[in-house]
Amino acid sequence: MKTKKVQKSFLNVMFTAVVIVLIAGCSSSKNLSGDSKKGVMLRYSFPEKQALKYQTNIDIKQILDINGQEFIVDIGQYLAFSTILKSKSKTENHIHIDIDTMDMSISSPQGDIYPDMKDVNGKGFDMSLSLLGSGLDVSGAEAIQYEVSPGVKRNVAMTFKFLFPRLPEKSLKIGDTWTMTDTIAEKYDNEEVRMIIDSDYTLAGFESINGLDCARITSVVTGTRTGKAIQQGVEMISDGTMSGFGTYYFAKKNGYLVKDVSSITVDAKLVVQGPQEKTIPMKFEITNKTELSR
């Protein structure tokens, strides 16, 4: 019974962290300008009167070592959505997001869970995105909620808040590097998660993707994660480190994301408080792919 309680609590606690990590993998109203010799300025500039359709596939394997026995939880998520520009200013793009399909599955030795997404599929919201991809407002997504497991609800705001990579202010030439640090804190009724993520980026080159002239940007990710939660009377504290890499392709003349792939590993431990304190080693293996489908 204690193992079941720990597993369910662990799954609920780590879901928020997983979503954050996935996206961290890690925006002038004018089109991009420049070339490989002079340098390019990457800026978000969504096209007018044209919907951009994306698909995102996320796979997560959570591995716990409980009393020497490996306990694996597999989570899969598929998301299909579209964006369309509503208006733009000198500093922001105001876009509308339509969630066409969102599916999720959670598989463990104790059974499979398929969260009901009827309150998500077909819903939409407005959001704003700066030209550099920062200062993003996704408050409209907070009202779109779904139930991960009985009594555990989440909204889609976090998914979209970190979906679009941030861009550097400077003009870039091949081989140029830059670093960005994100501090992410999420708090719910009975749990909280804090992550500090350092991403080292490099403009690796230029490449044509489906006829679009793209800047190919690679990243190396490191970071830390801490969490605290109380589930079913069990208090748990977790901490760990993350590492990974990714590549995203940005249409440098058009001004939008074309493809983003990443792979993240989190090595951590979960400390279950109580009269008989227990430390459980755990690991996450996370892959994420977001791609423009039309």
| Domains of the chain, first to last | 2-26+28-292 (2.30.230)
Give the pLDDT confidence score for residue 254 in this predicted structure: 94
- Average pLDDT over all residues of the chain: 85
Q: Specify whether the CB–CB gap between 28 and 131 falls below 8 A.
A: yes
Cβ neighbours for 76, distance < 8 A, ≥ 6 positions apart: 57, 58, 59, 60, 104, 105
pTM above 0.75, yes or no: yes
* Residue 37 confidence class, pLDDT cut points 50, 70, 90: low
Mean pLDDT on 64-82? 93
* pLDDT tens figures, 255-285: 999 999 999 999 999 998 877 788 999 999 9
Flag whether pLDDT at 11 surpasses 60.
no
Return the percentage of the chain with pLDDT > 90, whole number: 60
Give the pLDDT confidence score for residue 89 in this predicted structure: 92
* pLDDT tens figures, 196-236: 999 999 999 999 998 999 999 999 999 999 988 887 788 88
* Residue 171 confidence class, pLDDT cut points 50, 70, 90: very high
Poorest-pLDDT segment among 41-55, 144-158, 204-218, 251-265: 144-158
